[in-house]
Amino acid sequence: MTLFPELFAPHLTQGITRRAYESGQVDVRLWPLRDFALDTYRRVDDRPFGGGPGMVMLAEPLERALAAVQAGRAEAQAPAAPVVHFTPTGAPITQALVRQMAEGPGAVLLCGRYEGIDQRVIDRHVTLELSLGDFVLSGGELPALALLDAIARLQPGVLTAQSHEQDSFSADGLLDCPHYSRPEVLATPEGALPVPPVLLSGHHAQIERWRRDQSLALTLRRRPE
C-alpha cells in the first residue's frame, strides 16, 4: 500500500531476486492509496490537529484501502496476514524476522509518507511496526523494498544453498567474513595488498576455520551485543 507504486517496478524486474517474483513464489500486489481518495484532487493528507509542521496521511482513504486489501485476500482464500507499518520508531528488521516472514502467510505492507499516518489507523490495524535503522527516510517504500528483497532471496531456487550458507548473517547470528577475488596481489599507491595466503592454500578445513574466526572477530567488534 503506497502513494508511489511506480517505485517498485524496477526492483521487481531486475537482479537475481526477480526469479522469485516471476515464479510467483513472492506475489507482490501494489495498492495505490490515491485510488481510495474520494475527492477530485485524490487527496490523502491534511494538516495535523494541534498544529505543527508537515502533513498527516488521512485515516479514511487508508481505512478504505485496508478494507479492499482484506476483501481481496478473503476472495482469494488467502490466510490472514499481519499488517506491517514502516516507521523509524519500529523494531529493527533482522535476518531472523525475515526468515520468519518468508515462511509465513504473507503480509500487508503499509508505506507511510509525510509526518506519518493517522494514529487511529495504526491502533486499529497494524500488527507490526518495523524500521531499517535509527534514521529518517521520506517514506516506507525503501524499507518495504528491502524487506521484499530479503524475503525473495530466501525462496527455493533463487540462490544456491552455498550462497545461503555464506550469507552476511548466518543462522548462528554471526556476521559474514571478508571475501577476496583476483588479482592475488592488488597494486595500490600505498603498496601491494595480497590476498590472505590461507585462501590460496587449497586446504578447505583451514579455509573454513579462517572464515569462522573472521566472522567471530567481526561480530565481536561490530555487534558485541
Span 173-206, pLDDT tens digits: 788 899 999 999 999 999 999 999 999 999 999 9
Cell triple for 165: 550458507
Are the beta carbons of 112 and 102 closer than 8 angstroms? no
> 119-128, 158-167, 178-187, 210-219: lowest mean pLDDT where?
158-167
Q: Where in the sequence of the chain do the CATH 1.10.1270.20 domains occur?
A: 161-222
**Can you name the CATH fold of 161-222?**
Trp Operon Repressor; Chain A (1.10.1270)
**182 among known catalytic residues:** no
| Active-site option among 88, 149, 176, 212 | 88
* Residue scoring higher pLDDT (144 or 168): 144
* DSSP SS3 for 108: strand
- The pLDDT confidence band at residue 161, using thresholds 50, 70 and 90, is low
**63 among known catalytic residues:** no
What distances in angstroms separate CA 220 from CA 164, 167, 196, one per listed residue? 22, 17, 21
- The pLDDT confidence band at residue 19, using thresholds 50, 70 and 90, is confident
- The pLDDT confidence band at residue 43, using thresholds 50, 70 and 90, is very high
**118 among known catalytic residues:** no
Quick one: which H or E segment has residue 132? none
- The pLDDT confidence band at residue 135, using thresholds 50, 70 and 90, is very high
Report residue 163: phi and psi, to 5°: -65, -40
What superfamily would CATH give domain 5-152?
Answer: SPOUT methyltransferase, trefoil knot domain (3.40.1280.10)
Judged against a pLDDT cut of 80, whether residue 104 lies above it is answered with yes
**115 among known catalytic residues:** yes
Q: Where in the sequence of the chain do the CATH 3.40.1280.10 domains occur?
A: 5-152
- The pLDDT confidence band at residue 84, using thresholds 50, 70 and 90, is very high
Instruction: Write down the residue that cell numbers 603498496 correspond to.
Output: 191
CB atoms inside a 10 Å sphere around CB 132: 17
Judged against a pLDDT cut of 80, whether residue 103 lies above it is answered with yes
| Active-site option among 18, 167, 176, 212 | 167
Instruction: Write down the residue that cell numbers 485515516 correspond to.
Output: 59
> 60-64, 162-166, 167-171, 220-224: lowest mean pLDDT where?
162-166
Task: Output the pTM of the full model.
Answer: 0.84
Helix, strand, coil shares of the chain, percent, nearest 5, are 40, 15, 45
- The pLDDT confidence band at residue 16, using thresholds 50, 70 and 90, is confident
